[in-house]
Amino acid sequence: MASNKARVHFTLAGYHFNPDDITRLLGIEPTSVDSAGTRSGLDKPAISSWELSTDTVTTENGTDEVDVYKLTEIILKQLEPVKEGILQVCKSHNLSPRIGVVLTLSVDKDETCPDVGFGARMVKFLAEIGAFINIDYQLSERI
């Protein structure tokens, strides 16, 4: 049976920066990094990224529902204490902050629809750091 799946991630992306510098400056261990920009020349810029992500939540593993509000709260609790650091590294490294939601939606008619949204605290935080929101979704395999 197909199920809903979701994860939320906060990403800092930009050209010609070393994600290890961001880890050191923020004091938070990222879930993943891409340091392609560190090795690229100015003639062919490549984007580097620093990402902090929740685990993927799925209704297959005993969760009654997939709740994006709850997932964003997990990320927000880790980021709020370092908000000033995020602002500083965005300015010093010319980075673009974003929050992303990755959803796989079940086509099973018996599956509940996931709650997708952002609470007021998250919206305020994102506005204060100049972040944008990206929702990436796809349908699960046909059953």
The pTM of the full predicted model, rounded to 2 decimals, is 0.87
Instruction: With cut-offs at 50, 70 and 90, classify the pLDDT of residue 113.
Output: confident
C-alpha span between 87 and 95 (Å, rounded): 9
Question: What are the residue ranges spanned by the domains of the chain?
Answer: 5-139
Looking at residue 95, its amino acid is L
Mean of pLDDT over the chain: 87
pLDDT of res. 35? 80
pLDDT of res. 65? 77
* Dihedral sign for Cα atoms in the order 49, 50, 55, 58: negative
pLDDT of res. 93? 94
Instruction: With cut-offs at 50, 70 and 90, classify the pLDDT of residue 142.
Output: low
- Assess whether pLDDT exceeds 90 at residue 102: yes
pLDDT in tens, 38-83: 665 555 657 889 999 999 988 776 566 788 999 999 999 999 999 9
List the one residue out of 122, 143, 101 whose CA is nearest residue 5: 101
